[in-house]
Chains A and B, each alone.
Chain A
Amino acid sequence: MIEIRGWRRDNGDFGIRNHIVVLSSVACANHATLEIARRTGAIPVIQEEGACGMFGEDRKRFIRCMVGVGAHPNVAWTLVVGLGCEGVDSHQLADKITNKGREAESLLIQEEGMKKTIEKGVEIINRIKKSLKPREESGTLEELIIGLKCGASDYTSGLISNPAVGKAVDFLIEHGATVMFTERLEVVGAEHILAKRARSKKVAEDFLRRIKKAVEDVNRIGVDWIGSQPSMGNIRGGLTTIEEKSLGAIKKTGNSPLEGCVDYGERPKGKGLCFMDGPGYDVKAVSGLMCGGANIILFTTGLGTYLGSPVSPVIKITGNPKTAKLLADAIDVDLSFILKEIVSKGTSLDELLGLGGKRIVEKIISVANGKLTKAEKSGHIEFSIERIGITA
């Protein structure tokens, strides 16, 4: 059995990091949040928009995502910082996090003033820091939630990195892990394959309904897909249509059955493969997976990206030799040997992908046990919640 050392939370969740998070609930509180984080070394989660100007489903989704951050398995403790007049109350957000059996406190700038908010925040976090426990509890792969994402895709994504991740995912799911993939528009043209793999008719219908809605949403605004899906970068990289991109993208999911679907930022309801109904845009997709509790996110890339996440370590994987070399300070798993061996020796692709999958699993285990990813080392904390409606 593969053992992982981490932190067992009071609600039973298993974390592989023990972050103290300063969570801004609205962009108006970003300054205080960043300042508290700068003075304490806590991880800031800042908002592009946040708790203000939202209606209906957006508001529900925002609350779910914020609770997802505070109650994330990799988070030890959360300080929610708000301005005060915004649509979602920060004190209530902290309560919702503690109701999940996790720890949180809150500060409002309009109740304290800026200077005192920052000073109080620093004081609280310095106190919490002293109470943190070391990495000592043991867990297994069964307890991990792994998120999947691909970005800046090119021909190597569908040929090498995505199918290699698929091999790793088959191994993880055999060992009882939970795996989430997302990117609703990057399933278009390949949805029939996943629907066939659905655990039940109900799951298949739910999945197909979500993808159909995504297509209708794009067509309703009367735009041409080309240039967006696939993007101009994808086209330069050799991808011709959304179908080609999707068929390559879903290789990440391996061959396991599709167990269910969840909404954006929602925690999977059981083990095995789960679809999160989220966008393809890297920052919003990774943020959704993070809010859904992903302990680790596997990110395959063709042309390369430096993207990270505040609390879910992002493991970047490429099969593109140029990217592996040029963006070596971003790439955690370099699979460019696969392309080189195909060209020089004509080795079977499947055999090489098996090797690639093994390397990915090894990296997951070492990152789960504390080894920092390149994005963690360089302090990447990109975060943005997908909004669906109008802003008030």
Chain B
Amino acid sequence: MKAVIMDEKDSVATAVVPIKKGEKVRIGETEIEILSDIPQGHKFAIREIKAGEPIIKYGEIIGIATEDIKPGEYVHVHNVKSRYQRGYK
């Protein structure tokens, strides 16, 4: 396995090995094409997430998407904001 999800409700998976752009990763029944290099331990979207929508890991909200995120796209501080981060309403 190259990536794991923590809960079936999750919208992101965690790479347990570094994953290269263009690699295909199986998450349950679906296969996802990775759109940019994902460092080990970092996350990518496993479904489409619209700007303003919550990012789900552990079956819970870990933050809000600041832009539209496609399946296979890298998810980190560049496109997610904490609900506690200054300026967030």
Contact = CB atoms under 8 A, between A and B. Distances in A.
Say whether A associates with B. yes
Interface of A: 154-156, 158-159, 188-190, 193, 215, 219, 222-226, 235, 237-238, 240-244, 247-248, 339, 342-343, 346, 349
A238 B42 contact: yes
A243 B61 contact: yes
Chain A facing B: main interface SS: helix
B2 interface: yes
A243 B85 contact: no
Nearest to A154: B41
Contacts of B85: 224-226, 241
B63 interface: yes
A235 B61 CA distance: 17
Given A225-B82, A225-B86, A240-B75, A155 B62 contact: no
Given A247-B57, A339-B16, A189 B83 contact: yes
Contact of B62 (A215, A235, A241, A342): A241
Contacts of A240: 43, 55, 62-63, 75-77, 80, 82
B67 interface: no
Interface in B27-49: 39-43
B60 to A, nearest CB: 5
A222 B80 CA distance: 20
B1 A247 contact: no
A339 B63 CA distance: 26
Contacts of A193: 60
A215 B84 contact: yes
16 contacts: A158-B6, A159-B14, A189-B61, A215-B84, A224-B86, A225-B82, A238-B14, A238-B39, A238-B40, A240-B63, A243-B82, A244-B62, A244-B63, A342-B1, A342-B4, A342-B16
